[in-house]
Amino acid sequence: MLDEEKWFTEICEEAGSAFSLRIERKLHEEHTPYQRIEIYETTDFGNLMVIDGFIMLSARDNFFYHEMMAHPVLFTHPDPKRVCIIGGGDCGTLREVLRHKGVKKVWQIEIDEQVTRLAERYFPELCEANADPRVKFRFTDGIEWMRQAKADSLDIVIVDSTDPIGPAEGLFTEAFYRDCLNALSDGGLLIQQSESPLIHMDILLPMRKAMAAAGAADVKTLFFPQCVYPSGWWSATLARKGGPIEGFRHKDVAKRAFPTRYYNEAIHQAALAMPAFFLERVRG
């Protein structure tokens, strides 16, 4: 049995599974107006952020998720300049986005400022680019912000949210995607984390349908490992306004001037490969 003093455990009720990390100590706990945030120091995964009992990220393995939320969508767009991140308060996705020199402006819209303040303190490596003058931080409701966004004002929208329960629920709806597509310029791209392909097809498939119903011309799902999330296998779903999602800027990926730990040209291509069962469900 796992000693509660020495392990943090997240139970995934819908899958009948649980994942635990061994901890040295709890570093912080607070209730914000939105949620309960805990920070732990683990023995092997570095610092760990937990929101409402669900693991958000560990220092050791967040690179999978953050790289895959940023680089595939940015390298799919021919010339992304204006990027909006909805959620993403830990700033890990933001750091990856800012590595793209062509990006001129990034709006980071996080509802809970404490997520960012705690990331600055406990995950400073993810926040190292926060002072970049290209970033505008807005601590406000992303759904409302997107509703008011000007048409054709963005090239990329990245929805880096928690699961579709609580404050993030409205980020998984056709109405929200419609607002995103309105804010995007023609050829613009939206990407959203879309849960585990093994456990959460009941979220993933409706999300894809809602994106299409909102007017996306094409929708594609990316698959990648993410150890600390349920099943260890995660996805992000890409939607394009005004045309099909066809290929990406291979040469720019190959000659990129910044480091990555997971992402590269072959991994980008690989992430687009649909497992047999997924293909069947998407086509069926």
Q: Please list the alpha-helical segments (H only) found in the chain.
A: 62-76, 92-98, 113-122, 142-148, 174-183, 201-213, 250-254, 265-271, 276-283
Would you count residue 270 as binding a copy of itself (CB under 8 A)? Answer: yes
Q: Which of 27, 129, 203, 274 binds a copy of itself (CB under 8 A)?
A: 274
Would residue 218 show up in a list of annotated catalytic residues for this protein? no
Would you count residue 254 as binding a copy of itself (CB under 8 A)? Answer: no
- Per CB under 8 A, the segment of 109-117, 152-160, 239-247, 257-265 that binds a copy of itself is 257-265
- Per CB under 8 A, the segment of 3-11, 81-89, 130-138, 239-247 that binds a copy of itself is 3-11
Q: Which of 27, 198, 201, 282 binds a copy of itself (CB under 8 A)?
A: 198
Evaluate the CA torsion angle 21, 193, 172, 84 in order and state its sign: positive
Q: Which of 130/260 has CB closer to a copy of itself?
A: 260
- Which is the catalytic residue, given 61, 155, 160, 179? 160
Q: Which of 108/235 has CB closer to a copy of itself?
A: 235
Structure tokens at 261: 């730990």
How many other C-beta atoms can be found within 10 angstroms of the C-beta atom of residue 66? Answer: 25
x/- track of binding to a copy of itself for residues 28-67 (CB under 8 A): --------------xxxx---------------x------
Size of the site for a copy of itself (CB under 8 A): 45
**Residue count of the chain:** 284
Written as one letter, the residue type at 147 is R
Q: Which of 165/270 has CB closer to a copy of itself?
A: 270
Written as one letter, the residue type at 43 is T
Q: Which of 163/265 has CB closer to a copy of itself?
A: 265
Q: Which of 7/145 has CB closer to a copy of itself?
A: 7
Q: Which of 20, 32, 130, 173 binds a copy of itself (CB under 8 A)?
A: 20
**Which DSSP string do the residues of 119-139 spell out, in sequence order?**
HHHH-GGGGTTTT-TTEEEE-
Ramachandran class of 232: left when φ > 0, alpha when ψ lies in -120 to 50, beta otherwise: left
How far apart CA 129 and CA 96 sit, in angstroms, is: 9
Subset of 204-243 contacting a copy of itself (CB under 8 A):
223, 225-227, 231-233
Q: Which of 44/79 has CB closer to a copy of itself?
A: 44
The DSSP H or E segment spanning 11 is strand 7-12
**Residue pair 106/84 in contact by the 8 Å Cβ criterion:** yes
Angle 215-192-95 from CA coordinates, rounded to 5°: 130
Active site positions, annotated: 160
Q: Which residues bind a copy of itself (CB under 8 A)?
A: 1-2, 4, 7, 9, 11, 15-22, 42-45, 61, 198, 223, 225-227, 231-233, 259-264, 266-267, 269-277, 279
